[in-house]
A and B are shown apart, each in its own frame.
Chain A
Amino acid sequence: MNQQRRNIMRITSVLGAAFAAGLLKPADVFAAEWSQKVFDAKSLEAAVKELGGDKFTVSQDVTITGPDIAENGAVVPVSISSRAPNTDFMAILVEKNPSAMSASFNIPAGTEPAVTTRVKMGATSNVHALVRADGKWLVASKEIKVTLGGCGG
Protein backbone atom coordinates (compact mmCIF):
# COMPACT_ATOMS: atom_id res chain seq x y z
CA MET A 1 0.00 0.00 0.00
CA ASN A 2 2.77 2.34 1.00
CA GLN A 3 4.73 1.53 -2.10
CA GLN A 4 1.73 2.34 -4.21
CA ARG A 5 1.24 5.62 -2.44
CA ARG A 6 4.87 6.47 -2.98
CA ASN A 7 4.52 5.79 -6.69
CA ILE A 8 1.49 8.00 -6.93
CA MET A 9 3.26 10.76 -5.05
CA ARG A 10 6.22 10.48 -7.35
CA ILE A 11 4.10 10.69 -10.49
CA THR A 12 2.13 13.61 -9.16
CA SER A 13 5.24 15.49 -8.17
CA VAL A 14 6.91 14.90 -11.53
CA LEU A 15 3.78 16.08 -13.32
CA GLY A 16 3.54 19.00 -10.92
CA ALA A 17 7.08 20.03 -11.73
CA ALA A 18 6.35 19.79 -15.44
CA PHE A 19 3.29 21.98 -15.06
CA ALA A 20 5.23 24.47 -12.98
CA ALA A 21 8.00 24.64 -15.53
CA GLY A 22 5.43 25.40 -18.19
CA LEU A 23 6.43 22.33 -20.15
CA LEU A 24 2.93 20.99 -20.01
CA LYS A 25 -0.10 23.18 -19.93
CA PRO A 26 -2.97 21.37 -18.24
CA ALA A 27 -5.23 22.27 -21.14
CA ASP A 28 -2.91 20.45 -23.53
CA VAL A 29 -3.14 17.26 -21.57
CA PHE A 30 -6.81 17.19 -20.69
CA ALA A 31 -9.02 19.23 -22.91
CA ALA A 32 -12.18 17.78 -21.43
CA GLU A 33 -12.67 17.47 -17.74
CA TRP A 34 -13.94 14.15 -16.43
CA SER A 35 -17.31 14.86 -14.90
CA GLN A 36 -18.64 12.64 -12.15
CA LYS A 37 -22.13 13.93 -12.84
CA VAL A 38 -22.05 12.84 -16.45
CA PHE A 39 -20.75 9.40 -15.51
CA ASP A 40 -23.32 9.06 -12.71
CA ALA A 41 -26.25 9.80 -14.99
CA LYS A 42 -28.73 6.95 -14.99
CA SER A 43 -30.29 7.53 -18.38
CA LEU A 44 -29.61 8.97 -21.80
CA GLU A 45 -31.86 11.96 -20.99
CA ALA A 46 -30.00 12.69 -17.75
CA ALA A 47 -26.61 12.35 -19.45
CA VAL A 48 -27.56 14.78 -22.22
CA LYS A 49 -28.73 17.24 -19.59
CA GLU A 50 -25.46 16.96 -17.66
CA LEU A 51 -23.55 17.55 -20.88
CA GLY A 52 -25.39 20.82 -21.34
CA GLY A 53 -27.96 19.79 -23.93
CA ASP A 54 -31.72 19.91 -23.49
CA LYS A 55 -33.15 17.63 -26.12
CA PHE A 56 -31.93 15.11 -28.64
CA THR A 57 -33.30 13.60 -31.82
CA VAL A 58 -32.97 10.16 -33.30
CA SER A 59 -30.91 10.53 -36.45
CA GLN A 60 -30.10 8.49 -39.54
CA ASP A 61 -26.72 10.21 -39.66
CA VAL A 62 -25.55 8.37 -36.58
CA THR A 63 -24.60 4.71 -36.79
CA ILE A 64 -24.03 2.24 -34.01
CA THR A 65 -22.78 -1.25 -34.73
CA GLY A 66 -22.28 -4.14 -32.39
CA PRO A 67 -23.29 -7.76 -32.04
CA ASP A 68 -27.01 -8.62 -31.85
CA ILE A 69 -26.16 -11.10 -29.17
CA ALA A 70 -23.13 -10.79 -26.91
CA GLU A 71 -22.17 -14.02 -25.23
CA ASN A 72 -19.85 -12.30 -22.83
CA GLY A 73 -21.22 -9.12 -21.30
CA ALA A 74 -17.76 -8.16 -20.05
CA VAL A 75 -16.44 -7.53 -23.55
CA VAL A 76 -18.95 -6.15 -26.04
CA PRO A 77 -17.42 -4.47 -29.10
CA VAL A 78 -19.28 -1.31 -30.09
CA SER A 79 -18.56 1.03 -33.00
CA ILE A 80 -20.14 4.43 -33.37
CA SER A 81 -19.87 6.82 -36.28
CA SER A 82 -21.51 9.97 -37.54
CA ARG A 83 -22.11 11.46 -40.97
CA ALA A 84 -23.47 14.69 -39.53
CA PRO A 85 -21.23 17.65 -40.42
CA ASN A 86 -19.25 19.30 -37.62
CA THR A 87 -19.46 16.37 -35.25
CA ASP A 88 -17.31 17.33 -32.29
CA PHE A 89 -18.46 14.98 -29.56
CA MET A 90 -19.48 11.32 -29.40
CA ALA A 91 -20.41 8.99 -26.58
CA ILE A 92 -21.47 5.42 -25.92
CA LEU A 93 -24.18 4.80 -23.33
CA VAL A 94 -25.53 1.49 -22.05
CA GLU A 95 -29.05 2.06 -20.78
CA LYS A 96 -29.29 -0.66 -18.17
CA ASN A 97 -25.83 -0.39 -16.65
CA PRO A 98 -25.61 1.08 -13.12
CA SER A 99 -24.54 4.30 -14.79
CA ALA A 100 -25.37 4.77 -18.43
CA MET A 101 -22.33 6.64 -19.74
CA SER A 102 -19.55 4.32 -20.83
CA ALA A 103 -17.13 6.46 -22.77
CA SER A 104 -17.16 9.88 -24.39
CA PHE A 105 -14.91 11.31 -27.06
CA ASN A 106 -14.08 14.83 -28.16
CA ILE A 107 -13.43 14.84 -31.87
CA PRO A 108 -11.24 17.71 -33.12
CA ALA A 109 -11.37 18.72 -36.79
CA GLY A 110 -9.32 16.26 -38.85
CA THR A 111 -10.34 13.23 -36.84
CA GLU A 112 -13.10 11.16 -38.39
CA PRO A 113 -16.19 10.84 -36.21
CA ALA A 114 -15.86 7.08 -35.93
CA VAL A 115 -14.59 5.20 -32.91
CA THR A 116 -14.63 1.60 -31.80
CA THR A 117 -14.18 0.33 -28.29
CA ARG A 118 -15.34 -2.46 -26.00
CA VAL A 119 -17.77 -2.00 -23.14
CA LYS A 120 -19.18 -4.01 -20.27
CA MET A 121 -22.90 -4.77 -20.14
CA GLY A 122 -24.70 -6.01 -17.07
CA ALA A 123 -27.77 -7.22 -18.92
CA THR A 124 -29.57 -7.10 -22.25
CA SER A 125 -30.03 -3.44 -22.98
CA ASN A 126 -30.30 -0.68 -25.51
CA VAL A 127 -26.93 0.81 -26.34
CA HIS A 128 -26.95 4.41 -27.53
CA ALA A 129 -24.57 6.39 -29.67
CA LEU A 130 -24.84 10.06 -28.73
CA VAL A 131 -23.39 12.67 -31.05
CA ARG A 132 -23.13 16.44 -30.92
CA ALA A 133 -22.97 18.05 -34.37
CA ASP A 134 -23.44 21.77 -35.00
CA GLY A 135 -24.65 22.07 -31.43
CA LYS A 136 -27.44 19.53 -31.97
CA TRP A 137 -27.67 16.26 -30.08
CA LEU A 138 -28.30 13.19 -32.22
CA VAL A 139 -28.86 9.62 -31.13
CA ALA A 140 -28.88 6.14 -32.62
CA SER A 141 -29.71 3.06 -30.58
CA LYS A 142 -29.32 -0.66 -30.87
CA GLU A 143 -30.44 -3.44 -28.60
CA ILE A 144 -27.71 -5.88 -27.67
CA LYS A 145 -28.75 -9.09 -26.00
CA VAL A 146 -26.42 -10.44 -23.36
CA THR A 147 -26.33 -14.18 -22.76
CA LEU A 148 -25.40 -15.14 -19.26
CA GLY A 149 -24.56 -18.67 -18.27
CA GLY A 150 -22.12 -19.27 -21.08
CA CYS A 151 -24.13 -21.74 -23.17
CA GLY A 152 -24.21 -19.31 -26.07
CA GLY A 153 -26.97 -18.97 -28.60
Chain B
Amino acid sequence: MADPMRIRASITGDTAEVKVLMRHDMETGQRKDAGGKTIPAHFIKTLVAKVNDKVVLDANFGPSVSKDPFLSFKVKGAVKGDKVSVTWVDNAGETRTDESTIS
Protein backbone atom coordinates (compact mmCIF):
# COMPACT_ATOMS: atom_id res chain seq x y z
CA MET B 1 0.00 0.00 0.00
CA ALA B 2 1.20 3.47 -0.77
CA ASP B 3 2.63 5.70 1.93
CA PRO B 4 0.43 8.36 3.49
CA MET B 5 0.30 11.93 2.23
CA ARG B 6 1.09 14.92 4.33
CA ILE B 7 -1.62 17.54 4.18
CA ARG B 8 -1.37 20.89 5.86
CA ALA B 9 -4.06 23.54 5.59
CA SER B 10 -3.95 26.93 7.23
CA ILE B 11 -6.24 29.95 7.14
CA THR B 12 -5.23 33.49 6.28
CA GLY B 13 -8.20 35.87 6.20
CA ASP B 14 -10.97 33.99 4.41
CA THR B 15 -8.67 31.83 2.35
CA ALA B 16 -7.22 28.46 3.25
CA GLU B 17 -3.92 27.46 1.78
CA VAL B 18 -3.69 23.72 1.36
CA LYS B 19 -0.32 22.04 0.89
CA VAL B 20 -0.10 18.39 -0.03
CA LEU B 21 2.98 16.24 -0.18
CA MET B 22 2.39 12.83 -1.71
CA ARG B 23 4.70 9.85 -1.59
CA HIS B 24 5.01 8.36 -5.03
CA ASP B 25 7.82 7.29 -7.36
CA MET B 26 6.36 9.06 -10.41
CA GLU B 27 8.34 6.78 -12.72
CA THR B 28 8.25 8.19 -16.26
CA GLY B 29 8.63 4.96 -18.19
CA GLN B 30 11.65 6.39 -19.97
CA ARG B 31 14.40 5.49 -17.53
CA LYS B 32 16.38 2.30 -17.79
CA ASP B 33 17.70 0.17 -14.95
CA ALA B 34 21.30 -1.07 -14.62
CA GLY B 35 20.55 -3.99 -16.94
CA GLY B 36 19.27 -1.68 -19.67
CA LYS B 37 15.66 -2.69 -19.21
CA THR B 38 13.08 0.08 -19.28
CA ILE B 39 11.53 0.75 -15.90
CA PRO B 40 7.77 0.72 -16.45
CA ALA B 41 5.89 3.97 -15.98
CA HIS B 42 4.23 4.35 -12.62
CA PHE B 43 2.72 7.71 -11.84
CA ILE B 44 -0.28 9.45 -10.27
CA LYS B 45 -2.86 10.29 -12.90
CA THR B 46 -5.71 11.94 -11.10
CA LEU B 47 -6.10 13.80 -7.86
CA VAL B 48 -9.22 15.18 -6.26
CA ALA B 49 -9.22 17.50 -3.26
CA LYS B 50 -12.33 18.19 -1.23
CA VAL B 51 -13.22 20.54 1.59
CA ASN B 52 -16.19 19.21 3.58
CA ASP B 53 -17.08 16.87 0.69
CA LYS B 54 -17.16 19.68 -1.90
CA VAL B 55 -14.64 19.24 -4.71
CA VAL B 56 -12.21 22.17 -4.60
CA LEU B 57 -9.55 20.96 -7.00
CA ASP B 58 -9.41 18.26 -9.59
CA ALA B 59 -6.04 17.62 -11.18
CA ASN B 60 -4.56 15.39 -13.86
CA PHE B 61 -0.87 14.58 -13.62
CA GLY B 62 1.47 13.33 -16.28
CA PRO B 63 4.69 11.44 -15.64
CA SER B 64 6.65 14.69 -15.70
CA VAL B 65 5.44 15.74 -12.28
CA SER B 66 8.33 15.32 -9.85
CA LYS B 67 8.83 12.32 -7.63
CA ASP B 68 6.95 12.71 -4.33
CA PRO B 69 4.65 15.35 -5.81
CA PHE B 70 4.01 18.58 -3.99
CA LEU B 71 0.90 20.60 -4.62
CA SER B 72 -0.43 23.75 -3.06
CA PHE B 73 -3.66 25.61 -3.77
CA LYS B 74 -5.99 28.12 -2.13
CA VAL B 75 -9.65 27.80 -1.23
CA LYS B 76 -11.84 30.79 -0.45
CA GLY B 77 -14.53 30.70 2.19
CA ALA B 78 -13.13 27.79 4.17
CA VAL B 79 -13.12 28.06 7.95
CA LYS B 80 -11.10 26.57 10.76
CA GLY B 81 -12.09 23.01 11.50
CA ASP B 82 -13.20 22.22 7.95
CA LYS B 83 -12.11 18.82 6.73
CA VAL B 84 -9.77 18.57 3.75
CA SER B 85 -9.45 15.28 1.96
CA VAL B 86 -7.19 14.40 -0.95
CA THR B 87 -7.48 11.28 -3.10
CA TRP B 88 -5.12 10.16 -5.81
CA VAL B 89 -5.22 7.28 -8.27
CA ASP B 90 -2.16 6.10 -10.22
CA ASN B 91 -1.81 4.31 -13.54
CA ALA B 92 -1.58 0.93 -11.79
CA GLY B 93 -4.97 1.52 -10.20
CA GLU B 94 -3.55 2.07 -6.74
CA THR B 95 -5.29 4.75 -4.77
CA ARG B 96 -4.91 6.55 -1.50
CA THR B 97 -7.01 9.04 0.44
CA ASP B 98 -5.87 11.12 3.38
CA GLU B 99 -7.61 13.70 5.50
CA SER B 100 -6.67 16.71 7.52
CA THR B 101 -8.36 19.57 9.33
CA ILE B 102 -7.90 23.23 8.46
CA SER B 103 -6.18 25.13 11.25
List A residues at the B interface (Cβ < 8 Å): 4, 7-8, 11-12, 15, 28-32, 34-35, 38-39, 74-77, 94, 97-99, 101-108, 110-112, 114-121
Give the Cβ gap from B16 to chain A, nearest Cβ, in Å. 10
Closest A-B pairs by Cβ, 6 of them: A112-B74, A118-B66, A106-B58, A116-B72, A39-B62, A102-B64
Inter-chain contact total with CB atoms closer than 8 Å: 117
List B residues at the A interface (Cβ < 8 Å): 1, 15, 26, 28, 30, 45-46, 48, 54-62, 64-67, 69-77, 87, 89, 92-95
17 A-B contact pairs sorted by A residue (CB < 8 Å): A11-B94, A28-B55, A30-B58, A35-B60, A39-B60, A98-B64, A99-B62, A99-B64, A102-B62, A105-B73, A106-B58, A111-B74, A112-B75, A118-B70, A119-B66, A120-B64, A120-B65
Q: Is the interface of B mostly helix, strand, loop or mixed?
A: strand
> Which residues does chain B contribute within 8 Å of A112, judged by CB atoms?
15, 73-76
Q: Which of B30, B74, B93 contacts A98 (CB 8 A)?
A: B30
> Which residues does chain B contribute within 8 Å of A107, judged by CB atoms?
57
Give the interface centre of A94, A106, A121 by most chain B CB atoms within 10 Å. A106
> Which residues does chain B contribute within 8 Å of A120, judged by CB atoms?
26, 28, 64-66
| Given A112-B74, A115-B73: A104 touches B55 (CB 8 Å cut-off) | no
Please report the C-alpha to C-alpha distance between residue A76 and residue B71 in the assembled complex, in whole angstroms.
Answer: 12
> Which residues does chain B contribute within 8 Å of A117, judged by CB atoms?
65-66, 69-72
Across the two chains, which residue of chain B brings its CB closest to A105? B59
B62 touches A101 (CB 8 A): yes
A114 touches B64 (CB 8 A): no
